[in-house]
Amino acid sequence: MGTFEGKVVVITGGNSGIGYATAKAFREQGASVTITGKREEPLKKAAAELSVTGKLTDQASLQDIDQLVTEVKHASGKVDVLFINAGVAFFAPVEHTSEEQFDTMVNVNFKGSFFTLQKFIPILNDGAAVIFLTSGNTALAMENSAVYSASKSAVGHLAKIAAKELAPRKIRVNTVNPGPTETAMQHKFGFDDATLEAMKGHILTQVPLAKMGRPEDVARMVLYLADHSLSSFITGAEFFIDGGMAL
């Protein structure tokens, strides 16, 4: 029997990368998993591959979040693990960041994370685990990432305050902060393979362990934080999975 046998897990942004790897790991340990995504075809494909439930949800839309909570409540009752993972990134200097890019990142990464947590609180089991995906960028002052880093830093602060507010119900709230990780997301930034390889080479010079992370590395940390038998005394903490880059 898996560690999460009979547990109800919700993962936002679960149709690729870290969300996909985490959904797969929870399924392998017996959990009942719902993933969300805002692109219908990739979501359907991932849900079928993983044998999980897929819900079309834009994390920036409060109406979508309400619908998600209603459907999860109807199907499963209460939630044991909430992994708020969906996020977007655009990289540009402060001087050249558009209002649209600013709004998209703040609405998905911060506002969306905030209201996903808020609206799920009533259907979280006492003793549930909430994990936010932030970013290794929260510890860096990396050029071209002002809005992205700030939106993820805001989520980190939200998690700490939520950890205090939800402690009376023994709901633990933590963040995982990945560094450079091999995911399809990198291709969505519109870089060609040669540019990506050059960027990767540059990044690796800043990572003490001199390698990229894998989605599975992050997934293992999420499962650790979701497992009450391993992490019952951990809340309001942040875990950098970045090969030492934040150092």
User: Which amino acid appears at position 195 of this protein?
Assistant: T
What is the CATH class of 8-241? alpha beta
Domain spans of the chain, in order of start: 8-241
CA distance linking residue 208 with residue 74, whole number of Å:
47
Q: Enumerate the active-site residues.
A: 148
Which pLDDT score, from 0 to 100, does residue 194 have? 84
CA distance linking residue 237 with residue 234, whole number of Å:
7
Which pLDDT score, from 0 to 100, does residue 187 have? 57
Which pLDDT score, from 0 to 100, does residue 195 have? 82
CA distance linking residue 64 with residue 187, whole number of Å:
26
Phi-psi bin for 199: left (phi > 0), alpha (psi -120 to 50), beta? alpha
Whether the CB-CB separation of 245 and 179 falls below 8 Å is answered with yes
Which pLDDT score, from 0 to 100, does residue 188 have? 56
Which pLDDT score, from 0 to 100, does residue 184 have? 60
Tokens of 156: 């980190």
Compute mean pLDDT per 10 residues along the chain, 247 residues long, and list them.
94 96 98 98 98 98 98 98 97 97 98 98 98 96 96 98 98 97 66 82 91 96 98 98 95
CA distance linking residue 77 with residue 119, whole number of Å:
14
**What's this model's pTM, rounded to 2 decimal places?**
0.96
The residues, ordered by sequence, that sit 6+ positions from 19 with a Cβ below 8 Å of its Cβ are 11, 12, 13, 35, 83, 85, 86
Tokens of 221: 């940390």
CA distance linking residue 158 with residue 147, whole number of Å:
16
Whether the CB-CB separation of 134 and 156 falls below 8 Å is answered with yes
User: Which amino acid appears at position 221 of this protein?
Assistant: M
